[in-house]
Chains A and B, each alone.
Chain A
Amino acid sequence: MTVQPSAPRWQADDGYHIDVRGLPAPQPMLQILALLETIPAGAVIVHHDREPIYLYPELTERGWNHELLPGAGDEVRLRLWRNDV
Chain B
Amino acid sequence: MALGATSFLGSAAERLLPLSVPFRFFGAAVLFHVAAWATLVAGAGELATFRGGGGAVLAAIHLMTLGVFVMTAVGASLQLLPVATLQGFAAPARINAIWWLLNAGTICLAMGMYLRWHEIMAVGGALLTFAIGLYLWLLVGNLRRGGAMMAVVAHGWLAAGALIGLLVLGLVLIINTEHGFLANSQRAAVSHMLVAAYGFMGLLAMGFSYVLVPMFALAPMPSDKWALAAMFCACTGLALGFAGTWFAQDAWAALGGGIGLIGAAIYLSLMAIILKQRMRRKLGPAFDLMRLSWALLPLSLLAGTAWALNLLPDWGAVIFGLWLFGWILGFLLAILQRIVPFLASMHAAFAVKRRPPTVTALTARGPLAAHLYCHCAALVSLSAGIIWPIPFLVTLGAVAGLLGAASFAWFFLLAVLRYRTALRAPSA
Interface residues of A (CB under 8 A from B): 1-3, 24-27, 29-30, 33-34, 50-51, 53-54, 56-58, 60-61, 65-68, 76, 83
B358 in contact with A3 (CB, 8 Å):
no
Contacts A25-B221, A68-B5 given; indicate if A60 touches B11 (C-beta within 8 A).
no
Q: Which residues of A contact B15 (CB under 8 A)?
A: 53
B8 in contact with A60 (CB, 8 Å):
no
The answer to whether B145 has its CB under 8 Å from any CB of chain A is: no
Mask, B87-111, CB within 8 Å of A = 1, is 0000000000000000000000000
Distance of A21 from chain B, by nearest CB (Å) = 14
Given contacts A2-B279, A61-B345, 10 further A-B contacts (CB under 8 A): A24-B149, A26-B221, A51-B8, A53-B12, A57-B359, A58-B218, A60-B1, A60-B359, A65-B1, A68-B2
Could you pull out 6 A-B pairs where Cβ atoms are within 8 angstroms? A1-B278, A29-B218, A51-B11, A68-B2, A68-B8, A83-B355
Q: Which of B3, B149, B218 contacts A30 (CB 8 A)?
A: B218
Q: Which chain B residue has the least Cβ–Cβ distance from A65?
A: B1
Contacts A56-B349, A60-B349, A67-B3 given; indicate if A26 touches B355 (C-beta within 8 A).
no
Complex Cα gap A66–B350 (Å): 11
Complex Cα gap A60–B211 (Å): 21
The answer to whether B220 has its CB under 8 Å from any CB of chain A is: yes
Q: Which residues of A contact B1 (CB under 8 A)?
A: 60, 65-67
Contacts A25-B221, A53-B346, A60-B349 given; indicate if A67 touches B4 (C-beta within 8 A).
yes
Distance of B423 from chain A, by nearest CB (Å) = 14
Complex Cα gap A2–B274 (Å): 11
Q: Which residues of A contact B7 (CB under 8 A)?
A: 68
B359 in contact with A61 (CB, 8 Å):
yes
B residues 125-167 in Cβ contact with A at 8 Å: 148-149
Distance of B121 from chain A, by nearest CB (Å) = 41
Q: How large is the interface on B (under 10, 10 to 19, 20 to 34, 35 or more residues)?
A: 35 or more
A66 in contact with B11 (CB, 8 Å):
no
Q: Which residues of A contact B357 (CB under 8 A)?
A: 60
Q: Which of B149, B342, B345, B355 contacts A25 (CB 8 A)?
A: B149
Distance of A52 from chain B, by nearest CB (Å) = 9
Q: Which residues of B contact A57 (CB under 8 A)?
A: 342, 345-346, 349, 358-359
Contacts A61-B359, A67-B1, A76-B11 given; indicate if A33 touches B215 (C-beta within 8 A).
no
The answer to whether B219 has its CB under 8 Å from any CB of chain A is: yes
Q: Which residues of B contact A54 (CB under 8 A)?
A: 83, 215, 342, 346
Q: Which residues of A contact B215 (CB under 8 A)?
A: 26, 29, 54
Q: Which residues of A contact B359 (CB under 8 A)?
A: 57, 60-61
Complex Cα gap A52–B137 (Å): 27
Complex Cα gap A83–B1 (Å): 9
Q: Which of B3, B11, B12, B220 contacts A3 (CB 8 A)?
A: B220
Contacts A65-B1, A66-B2 given; indicate if A30 touches B279 (C-beta within 8 A).
yes
Complex Cα gap A34–B342 (Å): 20
